[in-house]
Amino acid sequence: MKMQLAEVAKAVDAQNDVSQWADVTVTAVHFDSRQLAAGTLFVPLAGEHDGHEFIDSARVHGAVASFWAASKTAQAPTDFPVLIVDDPLAAMQKLARYWLSKINPQVVAVTGSNGKTTTKDMTASVLDTEYNVVKTFANYNNEVGVPYTVLSMDPNTEILVVEMGMDRFDQLDALSKLVEPDVAIITMIGEAHIEFFGTRDRIADAKMEITHGLKADGRFVFNGDEPLLAERAATIDNEQRTFGQQSSNNLYPTKITTDNEQHETSFVVNQWPDETFTIPLLGEYNVNNAMAALTVGELFHVRVANMARGLANVALTENRTQWLTGITGEAILSDIYNANPTAMKDVLQMFAKTPAAGRHIAVLGDMLELGTDADELHASVATALHANEIQSVYLIGPHMQALQQALSGDYAADNLHYYALDDKDRLTSDLAADVQASDEVLLKASHGVHLETVLSTLQNGTSKK
């Protein structure tokens, strides 16, 4: 982006006169004082620490101006441009709406209990073969990350692909109304955040909020294999497209071929029977994500050959079923950003089918925000674990004790390891001593378990703090 400070002040209804700074040029917006580049407008957010405390750091790292809460006007610097606003986050969101209306790209919004990041990556890659596309960086998918994504657009952006996460009601409502999507996608309904919602029905209600800002002529794309979505889709008037494994969907696979050695999946769909699509991922669930991307590609009239090229060359966000190599030469499947029971079972079933000269070793951590049924849901993962397929299991976290008990009849004691959450260092050292070059290791947990420290040791021999 590029905007004079006077224009920014007008867009957010700043409460102070910035005429003496009117010609200051803002070329970026960021909320982390350590990650600024020259020309950045700093947004001091409230959190564990008050962002206003880091104004000096922001200035050192390249900030040329800052939002500033009206309640802290007395502490505002006088030798540096600040825009006085009631709430810096609300001002950032307001500026994002202004920038979005100024650039006026088509907007594709993606949500779902599982697969939204991969679907975002695939959709952006398909569209990028024929359009100028900007997509959500990493997992910046909340009320801070979505406006940050919008404000990262260049003026020549034609399509914005924005991922949206949620852990409470009204969150997707606000995000959808902020970007007003032309296409809204829901990948699936799972158990993620069931602690807050109570039932999958209520999760589906919350996910449907992504349609609240959908333009009147916007299209709704969803997994037609999910009855909870089909029921709710019937209540909205927008044009709809479905994808899934069943032939009742608009787009479904007629053939799926897995190359476990190359970690690839190829498939043919009903719409283009003469074209074979290939993705650098394993798992039927990833075919669903790819079909969501293909559906969007068709809506934007992307040529089929380009859609195939986009899927084959997709740049995936790290730590989402990402294959890596450990320090001893072992293959590591890192899927450590998030976890829910459906996703964990899917990745375990896929991992078990990959060829390994040695053992398959699964390192599983707690799945968070599963509420009162957490132990039962953790124990249910046992249906995807079999000692003849995944020979060794390392578990960490209080809820994983339930899975340990469920597996005790199938696994010998020396192949079933359990650790308390504060005993991760011992897990790491035991695993590092156990793993061999011929083995394959899966790491899967909610991000709050921080298995990235285990991954760092396996890759580098040192723990990433």
Is 218 annotated in a binding site? The answer is no
pLDDT at 366: 97
Among 10, 56, 58, 1, smallest CA distance to 31 is for: 58
Spatial distance between the Cα atoms of 465 and 452, rounded to a whole number of angstroms:
9
Residue 408, in any domain of the structure: yes
Same domain, 222 and 337: no
Joined together, the tokens standing for residue 408 give 């005790």
Same domain, 225 and 122: yes
Same domain, 67 and 198: no
Is 112 annotated in a binding site? The answer is yes
Same domain, 124 and 269: yes
Spatial distance between the Cα atoms of 141 and 35, rounded to a whole number of angstroms:
18
C-alpha dihedral sign at 140, 141, 144, 145: positive
Spatial distance between the Cα atoms of 393 and 363, rounded to a whole number of angstroms:
6
Same domain, 142 and 53: no
What's the length of the chain? 465
Read off the DSSP letter of residue 104: -
Is 409 annotated in a binding site? The answer is no
pLDDT at 465: 47
Same domain, 136 and 155: yes
Beta-strand relationship, 28-30 and 25-26:
unpaired
Provide the residue-wise pLDDT of the chain in tens; the chain has 465 residues. 899 999 999 999 999 999 999 999 999 999 999 899 999 999 999 988 999 999 999 999 999 999 999 999 999 999 999 999 999 999 999 999 999 999 999 999 999 988 999 999 999 999 999 999 999 998 899 999 999 999 999 999 999 999 999 988 999 999 999 999 999 999 999 776 666 777 889 999 999 999 999 999 999 999 999 999 999 999 999 999 999 999 999 999 999 999 988 889 999 999 999 999 999 999 889 999 999 999 999 999 999 999 999 999 999 987 778 899 999 999 999 999 888 898 899 999 999 999 999 999 999 999 998 888 999 999 999 999 999 999 999 999 999 999 999 999 999 999 999 999 999 999 999 999 999 999 999 999 998 999 999 999 999 986 554
The structure's pTM equals: 0.85
Q: Provide the β-strand partners of residue 257.
A: 266
Residue 98, in any domain of the structure: no
Q: What is the CATH number of the domain that holds 347?
A: 3.90.190.20
- The boundaries of the domain holding residue 384 are 322-460
Q: What's the one-letter identity of residue 166?
A: M
Residue 95, in any domain of the structure: no
Spatial distance between the Cα atoms of 307 and 309, rounded to a whole number of angstroms:
5
Residue 93, in any domain of the structure: no
Same domain, 223 and 116: yes
Q: Choose the final residue of a domain: 62, 88, 114.
A: 88
CA distances from 325 to 211, 439, 440 (A): 41, 11, 9
Is 117 annotated in a binding site? The answer is yes
Residue 434, in any domain of the structure: yes
Same domain, 352 and 390: yes
Q: Choose the final residue of a domain: 88, 121, 136.
A: 88
CB contact set of 238 (below 8 Å; sequence gap of 6+): 211, 214, 216, 217, 218, 219, 220
Q: What's the one-letter identity of residue 294?
A: L
Is 66 annotated in a binding site? The answer is no
Is 289 annotated in a binding site? The answer is no
Joined together, the tokens standing for residue 18 give 């910035």
pLDDT at 418: 98
Same domain, 158 and 26: no
Helical spans, DSSP H, in 408-441: 424-434
Is 118 annotated in a binding site? The answer is yes
pLDDT at 63: 97
Same domain, 173 and 300: yes
The number of folded domains in the chain is 3
Same domain, 349 and 378: yes
Q: What is the CATH number of the domain that holds 64?
A: 3.40.1390.10
